[in-house]
Structure 1
Amino acid sequence: MQVSVSPEKQKARAQLRKKLREARRSLPDEQHENAAQCIATQLNTLPFVKTATTVAGYLVNDGEVNLKYYIESTWQLSHKKFALPVLHPVCKGHLLFLSYTPDSLLINNKYNIEEPVLSCEAVIPVTQCDVILMPLVGFDASGNRLGMGGGYYDRTLSFTQRKLNTQSALNQHTPKLVGIAHDVQEVDALPTAPWDVPLNAIVTPSRTLIFTKP
């Protein structure tokens, strides 16, 4: 079934996206550095993140919270794997997740964002990720996420919203989805779209919000 949003809501989302991107980019370097440290501390104390064996995340771009300290902490644990998203070479508009280690070779994709060089041996199926740390442009206290507008995460993770009406679906592992953001990116209420995938949690430098998804 095809879904859409009104032109008015599309305009509101675009305007909000521009405003919030400017807000996070304008934060001073010292605040970005502090945010990176605080986020690492918060993630390392969040129970379902601590017990996860495979965590996917992202490399910083466009003023996002830098995950560098958290990534480094996972590399120090032999039982933990870290993965990064890669633009899917076949399924347009979707993401693949590849293992990321200190030895991984990186290239810039078409959006000038670093990602691992594609290797079949390094692919980690999304259903094998215990937690996915997602960048966002804006969020609200209800767990809604506004992304960059490309829809890559929403398409890739749409399976998490399907009704579990078959035995195979019941047996399918669903990752916990965690939005990562600066506090300045919070708004009272986001103009949502039907394809938006809600989050299990949002972590900012100052707090962690936990949501119960249906």
Structure 2
Amino acid sequence: MTFREMTSTSPSDKQALRRDLKRRRRALSAQQQRQAALALCQRLKQLPEIRRAKRISLYLPVNGEIDPTPLIPWLRQRRVAIYLPVLRPFSGNRLWFVAYDANTPMINNRFGIAEPSPRFAAQRRHRLPAWALDTLIVPLVGFDQQANRMGMGGGFYDRSLAFMRRPGPAPALIGVAHACQQVEALPVEPWDIPLTAVASDIGVARPNKTG
């Protein structure tokens, strides 16, 4: 599949691109994954959106996603509160953001992803509304140089962050990925929530602020 073909907006082409990009990241060896994670986290430490944040959401990786968790000890040292995305019960494809530390009780959700247990997450004192976070580190399947993001297709982040289309407090959104997940261009859908930047193991992409 060429970059030109990857820019197609048809559903079947987007599904094919998703499959191809997932294969790319799964093809990385365990050593390549570890090296990429460490390189990514060194880049994240330099981003102003990370350095000034006091409340950060990140994710626990699955299926070859680049791993942001080597950042956690550095965040703890800086007394940054860490939150994880949790599937919100009885709500179509939306997320809660739940406090995470060494004592947080964890389960595997229906996608096999570790997350804080429903009983823990259901207690309001353990959650923070998305607008109150300073920065979200979010996974992606593909990205381009303009920091456009292709997600898993479930729309969890886009629905949970829809408030960002309106004026008001909003977090910085930092997408993270392996460099092999970059393509020349991605279509932008009306419901997509723009990212502040995308960081990979070899660089940082930000949208051009033109016009």
Is 1:158–2:175 an aligned residue pair? no
Q: Which runs of 5+ in 2 are unaligned?
A: 1-7
Any idea what SS the aligned residue of 1:90 has?
Answer: coil
131 and 212 in structure 1: CA distance in 2 versus 1, 3 angstrom threshold: farther
Report the counterpart of residue 88 of structure 1 in structure 2: 88
Query: CA deviation digits over 1:156-192, x for unaligned, max 9?
Result: 1111123x3xxxxxxx310001100000000011133
Look up the equivalent residue of 1:92 and give its one-letter code. Answer: G
Count of residue pairs brought into register by the alignment: 199
Of stretches 51-60 and 112-121 in structure 1, the one that deviates more from structure 2 is: 112-121
Contact 1:75/1:101 (8 A) holds in 2 = no
Give runs of aligned pairs for residues 62-73 of structure 1, distance below 5 A: 62-73=63-74
Any idea what SS the aligned residue of 1:177 has?
Answer: strand
Report the counterpart of residue 51 of structure 2 in structure 1: 50
The structure 1 residue matched to 2:176, chosen from 167, 177, 180, is 180
How does the TM-score come out when normalised to structure 2? 0.89
Contact 1:176/1:200 (8 A) holds in 2 = yes
Whole-angstrom CA distance in 1 between matches of 2:187 and 2:208 = 20
In angstroms, what is the RMSD of aligned CA positions?
Answer: 1.7
Report the counterpart of residue 115 of structure 2 in structure 1: 115
How does the TM-score come out when normalised to structure 1? 0.88
Whole-angstrom CA distance in 2 between matches of 1:212 and 1:176 = 16
Any idea what SS the aligned residue of 1:132 has?
Answer: strand
Report the counterpart of residue 211 of structure 1 in structure 2: 207
Contact 1:98/1:122 (8 A) holds in 2 = yes
Query: CA deviation digits over 1:51-77, x for unaligned, max 9?
Result: 100010100111011112112221222
Whole-angstrom CA distance in 1 between matches of 2:26 and 2:74 = 25
Whole-angstrom CA distance in 1 between matches of 2:194 and 2:13 = 19
Look up the equivalent residue of 2:141 and give its one-letter code. Answer: V
Residue 28 (structure 1) shift: 1.1
Look up the equivalent residue of 2:151 and give its one-letter code. Answer: G
Query: CA deviation digits over 1:24-58, x for unaligned, max 9?
Result: 00111111001111111111111121010001010
Residue 116 (structure 1) shift: 0.8
Any idea what SS the aligned residue of 2:21 has?
Answer: helix
Any idea what SS the aligned residue of 1:55 has?
Answer: strand
Report the counterpart of residue 126 of structure 1 in structure 2: 130
The structure 1 residue matched to 2:149, chosen from 123, 145, 159, is 145
Residue 132 (structure 1) shift: 0.4
Whole-angstrom CA distance in 2 between matches of 1:197 and 1:8 = 17
Whole-angstrom CA distance in 2 between matches of 1:158 and 1:8 = 22
Report the counterpart of residue 102 of structure 2 in structure 1: 102
Residue 198 (structure 1) shift: 1.6
Residue 8 (structure 1) shift: 6.0
Is 1:25–2:29 an aligned residue pair? no
